[in-house]
């Protein structure tokens, strides 16, 4: 797999556009992108067939030259065209944009709710929020992860 | 002619109004900058989503979905965006007139009105207002439009309305904004051949089920942003004109005041000189 990835030609990349209500937020070239749909992960490589999918709450992983970038993405629509992935989502956050303290506070608050055995419908709605908080925490942890991945990648190359 | 005291009082009045106008002008221009940034942000995602919605609509299989299928129209729902406050020139009159013109075509209309001005207007006209949204804080607009979209879907699916229109003011630039009425539901369909190769994940119906609420949310949010931007621009332009009028009025009144003062002084001088001449000439004795 790694051999295959490094052998790929430079021009065989897909373009990713992420549009949010704050405008076109993110444009990037990548080898592969993995997104979370409502019924599981969906990976897109160069030359993918045209497909439109509904996104769930989860992490968007962008693989490029052996690096992984993570974004927190909550809901939306993905449109895969000819080597282009257009993502329309209400919330897309980069690791540096996430307020880790707030996400952590949310997580603790929501987990306390489960311990207290709150009402059923309350638990259902807070499960979604808890999932979002966990996604945010994982993505924001990625700030340090990128560096780690870089070093590992370097070792493999030489 | 009014006395000097009265003129002075009027100048004071106009001056305090002018200050108010200037403050409103400044508030409107600051708000305009802010809301305009929001509008520029939401336009691209709305345009793209509309394109996706239209493309999906052109598929043959999508025609049977409740969001796309045309129904026999018994009730039409109108969402009209107006402002909460006045002093925005003809902004509110234009949009309500446009909406009214569209309604008066023998339709059985129901109205959802956003903004206090529109609510007053349609109530006076005796229209059937089913829901009104007033005094929305700027920071709550995004979530407000989300819940409005949810309410709308619920209402449409229950069959209370068979078509939905949205009336808002489209913002072109600070001096130009036009009221428009657009069809919201059933969802728009692109003319021409559909891209039948495209696959939908998990399947076409689930895709439509999830996509349309997002589209409606963005559409309502955008319509609100467009209207709000137009409102602030209209207010800014009108307050600018009003400010100029007030300055002109103050200038005119000041001139009048000065002239009056000069007349009084001249009169007094005449009296004094007359008396002095009279005394110098020997007064009453020599006459």
Q: Where in the sequence is the domain holding B254, given as residue range(s)?
A: 4-17+241-272
A40 reaches B (C-beta below 8 A):
no
Q: Does the pLDDT of residue A158 top 50, yes or no? A: no
Q: Which of B47, B48, B146 to mutate to test the interface with A (most CBs of A within 10 A)?
A: B48
Residue B250 lies in a domain: yes
Residues B143 and B258 in one domain: no
Residue B285 lies in a domain: no
Question: So what's the pLDDT on residue B247?
Answer: 94
Residues B265 and B154 in one domain: no
Show the low-confidence residues of chain B (pLDDT under 50): 287
Residue B65 lies in a domain: yes
Q: Do A90 and B42 touch (CB under 8 A)?
A: no
Which of A51, A50, A85 lies closest to A71, judged by CA? A85
B214 reaches A (C-beta below 8 A):
yes
Residues B13 and B92 in one domain: no
Q: What is the pTM of this model?
A: 0.84
Question: So what's the pLDDT on residue A120?
Answer: 74
Q: How far is A85 from chain B (nearest CA, A)?
A: 13
Question: So what's the pLDDT on residue B283?
Answer: 66
- Region A116-127 average pLDDT: 75
Question: So what's the pLDDT on residue B284?
Answer: 67
Residues B63 and B165 in one domain: yes
User: How far is it, in rounded angstroms, from Cα B207 to Cα A59?
Assistant: 20
Q: Does the pLDDT of residue A121 top 80, yes or no? A: no
Q: Where are the domains of chain A?
A: 2-97, 100-155
Task: Read off the CATH number of the domain in which B168 is found.
Answer: 3.40.1380.10
Q: Do A21 and B41 touch (CB under 8 A)?
A: yes
Q: Does the pLDDT of residue A153 top 60, yes or no? A: no
Residues B25 and B13 in one domain: no
Q: Do A19 and B42 touch (CB under 8 A)?
A: no
Q: Do B214 and A90 touch (CB under 8 A)?
A: yes
Residue B150 lies in a domain: yes
Q: What is the pLDDT of residues A44-62, one digit of tens each?
A: 988 888 889 999 888 898 9
Residue B286 lies in a domain: no
Q: What is the CATH number of domain A2-97?
A: 2.60.15.10
The answer for B282, left when phi > 0, alpha when psi is -120 to 50, beta otherwise, is left
Residues B249 and B178 in one domain: no
The partner residue sitting opposite A20, judged by closest CB among B45, B52, B195, is: B45
Q: Are B81 and B114 in contact (CB under 8 A)?
A: yes
B142 reaches A (C-beta below 8 A):
yes
Mean pLDDT estimate for chain A: 79
Question: So what's the pLDDT on residue A144?
Answer: 54
A46 reaches B (C-beta below 8 A):
no
Give the residue on A whose Cα is nearest the Cα of B143. A90
B61 reaches A (C-beta below 8 A):
no
CA distances from A104 to A25, A136, B27 (A): 25, 9, 38
Per-position b or e across B82-102, b if 16+ CB within 10 A of its CB: bbeeeebbebbebbbebbbeb
Give the residue on B whose Cα is nearest the Cα of A82. B198
Q: Do B197 and A42 touch (CB under 8 A)?
A: no
Residues B260 and B156 in one domain: no
Give the residue on B whose Cα is nearest the Cα of A53. B201
Residues B166 and B252 in one domain: no
User: How far is it, in rounded angstroms, from Cα B185 to Cα B162?
Assistant: 8
Q: Do B201 and A20 touch (CB under 8 A)?
A: no
CA distances from B74 to B107, B108, B129, B173 (A): 8, 7, 16, 37
**A23: which chain B residues are within 8 Å (Cβ-Cβ)?**
40-41, 44-45
Give the residue on B whose Cα is nearest the Cα of A87. B45
Q: Do B214 and A76 touch (CB under 8 A)?
A: yes
User: How far is it, in rounded angstroms, from Cα A107 to Cα A110?
Assistant: 5
The partner residue sitting opposite A50, judged by closest CB among B142, B197, B211, is: B197
Q: Are A91 and A71 in contact (CB under 8 A)?
A: no
**A56: which chain B residues are within 8 Å (Cβ-Cβ)?**
none
Least confident span in A87-96, A117-126, A140-149, B208-217: A140-149
Question: So what's the pLDDT on residue B204?
Answer: 86
Angle at B195 between CA B193 and CA B199, to 5 degrees: 155
CA B104 to chain centre: 22
**A22: which chain B residues are within 8 Å (Cβ-Cβ)?**
41-42
Q: Do B201 and A51 touch (CB under 8 A)?
A: yes
Between positions 66 and 105 of A, the ones with CB within 8 A of B are 75-77, 79, 86, 88, 90
Q: Do B198 and A37 touch (CB under 8 A)?
A: no
User: How far is it, in rounded angstroms, from Cα B201 to Cα A37?
Assistant: 8
Q: How far is B42 from chain A (nearest CA, A)?
A: 4
Residues B158 and B262 in one domain: no
């Amino acid at each position: 797999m790694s051999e295959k990835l490094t052998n790929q030609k430079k021009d065989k990349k897909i373009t990713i556009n992420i549009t949010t209500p704050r405008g076109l937020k993110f444009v990037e070239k990548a080898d592969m992108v993995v997104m979370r749909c409502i019924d599981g992960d969906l990976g897109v490589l160069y030359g993918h067939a045209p497909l439109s999918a509904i996104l769930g709450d989860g992490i968007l992983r962008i693989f490029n030259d052996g690096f992984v970038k993570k974004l927190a993405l909550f809901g939306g629509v993905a449109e895969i065209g000819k080597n282009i992935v257009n993502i329309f989502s209400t919330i897309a956050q980069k690791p540096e944009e996430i307020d880790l303290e707030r996400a952590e506070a949310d997580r603790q608050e929501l987990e306390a709710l489960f311990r207290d055995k709150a009402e059923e419908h309350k638990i259902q709605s807070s499960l979604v929020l808890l999932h979002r908080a966990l996604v945010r925490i994982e993505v924001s942890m990625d700030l340090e992860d990128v560096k780690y991945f870089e070093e590992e990648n370097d070792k493999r190359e030489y | 002619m009014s006395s000097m005291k009265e003129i002075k009082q009027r100048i004071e009045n106009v001056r305090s109004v002018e200050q108010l106008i200037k403050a409103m002008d400044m508030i409107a221009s600051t708000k305009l900058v802010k809301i305009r940034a929001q509008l520029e942000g939401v336009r691209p995602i709305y345009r793209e989503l509309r394109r996706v919605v239209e493309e999906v609509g052109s598929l043959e299989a999508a025609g049977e979905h409740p969001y796309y299928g045309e129904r026999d129209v018994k009730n039409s729902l109108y969402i009209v965006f107006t402002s909460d406050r006045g002093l925005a020139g003809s902004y509110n009159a234009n949009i309500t007139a446009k909406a009214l013109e569209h309604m008066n075509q023998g339709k059985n209309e129901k109205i959802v009105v956003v903004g206090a001005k529109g609510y007053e207007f349609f109530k006076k006209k005796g229209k059937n207002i089913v829901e009104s949204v007033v005094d929305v804080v700027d920071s709550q607009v995004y979530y407000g439009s989300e819940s409005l979209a949810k309410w709308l879907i619920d209402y449409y699916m229950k069959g209370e309305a068979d078509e939905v229109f949205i009336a808002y003011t489209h913002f072109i630039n600070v001096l130009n904004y036009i009221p428009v009425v657009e069809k919201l539901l059933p969802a728009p369909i692109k003319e021409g051949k559909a891209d039948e190769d495209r696959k939908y994940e998990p399947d076409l119906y689930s895709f439509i089920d999830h996509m349309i609420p997002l589209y409606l949310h963005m559409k309502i949010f955008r319509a609100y942003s467009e209207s709000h931007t137009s409102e602030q621009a209209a207010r800014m332009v009108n307050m600018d004109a009003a400010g100029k009028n007030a300055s002109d009025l103050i200038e005119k009144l000041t001139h009048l005041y000065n002239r009056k003062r000069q007349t009084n002084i001249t009169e007094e001088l005449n009296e004094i000189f007359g008396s002095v001449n009279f005394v110098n000439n020997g007064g009453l004795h020599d006459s």
